[in-house]
Amino acid sequence: MRRRDIPVLPPRFGAALFDAAVHRVLITAPDPAWRDASPPGRWQDGRVGSLMLLDSASLYFRAFYGVPETLTAPDGTPVNAIRGLLDMITRLVRGRSPGRLIACWDVDWRPPFRVAAIPSYKAHRAEADGGESVPPKLTVQVPVIREVLTAAGIPIAGAAGYEADDVIGTLAAQADVPVDVVTGDRDLFQVVDDERQVRVIYTVRGLTKLDVVDEAAIAERYQIPGRAYADFAVLRGDPSDGLPGVPGVGDKTAASLIRSFGSVDGILETLDKYAASIPAGPRAKLAASRDYLTAAQPVVRVATDVPLPPLDGNLPVSPADPDAVERLGERWGLGSSLHRMCDALAAG
């Protein structure tokens, strides 16, 4: 997953303020102007009935690095990622009024099918045992996050052999309502689809700066068609995920190639049939990277056919397990963060 910032259509959002004196995260009311930022009548208004998909790992990493580690449980265990994530969910539900909410999970952070295609995929982030390198102070919080979300009634969706990105891609493809994907990972820009009313709510910095990404935003930022992000990403690569890209092809050349030939498949077909129509410099680089271009496409593209059980996702009017909510809140010192989230879910 990536944690880079891009400037795209910044919405207004209620601020999260940390009060160090009492070790609390205080949430101000969402700015009413943010909810109505889109022109009246557009699907981007976030109307009731939409589906909100959380890229859970991306968001709890953001929370971990964005909320002070001085937030701890009574026994001193850090809970900054837990409380930061709960507070963000509260703001999203209050500000966007989704009809359904699902937390998508990395059951396999480095799926074998991607490693088989590109062995370097995320290899630099793997521990000796094959697990992902995660700060110890975050590692202890992840199981608690799962427990808390489950007790609150937020369904968690994941599948063996797939990343959360694939779960999101599948649920977005199946949805018959507007979809908001909340993530700090630009890989998921590829699911943006104005016709199907799918857009990304991108966490630019920390937890409070959010950008709404639709096809126009992608076209403006990268100078490519709004649905061409995956092909663009294949060409330029991403060292943070161990994807080399085509050597010597950066953002500008990748964008130019996509505008000219439409897709990676279009580029490969042109190399086979009309090679002279590609400028000599890029042509040689693309020809030398033909095997990579073929192998990288299923690595970069999210799956849209992940086997998932039926998921409701309707906002819970009450916690699924009220006793567990109280127990977890007391055990981990989650204070008002947990109760605020449950109240926001109940209010819809």
The domains of the chain are located at 16-33+40-213+311-347, 229-300
Q: How far apart are CA 192 and CA 175, in angstroms?
A: 13
Q: Got the DSSP string for 244-287?
A: --STT--HHHHHHHHHHHSSHHHHHHHHHH-GGGS-HHHHHHHH
Q: How far apart are CA 134 and CA 60, in angstroms?
A: 12
The answer to whether the beta carbons of residues 115 and 66 sit under 8 Å apart is: no
pLDDT score of 204 = 84
pLDDT score of 230 = 97
With H, G, I as helix, E, B as strand and everything else as coil, classify residue 83: helix
Right CATH number for 229-300 from 3.30.1490.100, 3.40.50.720, 1.20.120.790, 1.10.150.20? Answer: 1.10.150.20
pLDDT score of 206 = 64
pLDDT score of 346 = 95
User: Which residue bears the tokens 């092909």?
Assistant: 231
Query: pTM of the prediction?
Result: 0.86
pLDDT score of 1 = 42
| CATH 3.40.50.1010 matches 16-33+40-213+311-347 | yes
Give pLDDT tens digits along the chain (348 positions). 443 332 332 332 233 332 322 233 333 333 333 333 333 333 344 444 699 999 999 999 999 999 999 999 999 999 999 999 999 999 999 999 999 999 999 999 999 999 999 999 999 999 999 999 999 999 999 999 999 999 999 999 999 999 999 999 999 999 999 999 999 999 999 999 999 999 999 998 766 789 999 999 999 999 999 999 999 999 999 999 999 999 999 999 999 999 999 999 999 999 999 999 999 999 999 999 999 999 999 999 999 999 999 998 999 999 999 999 999 999 999 989 999 999 999 998
Helix axes 290-300, 229-236, angle to 10 degrees: 130
User: Which residue bears the tokens 């030398």?
Assistant: 288
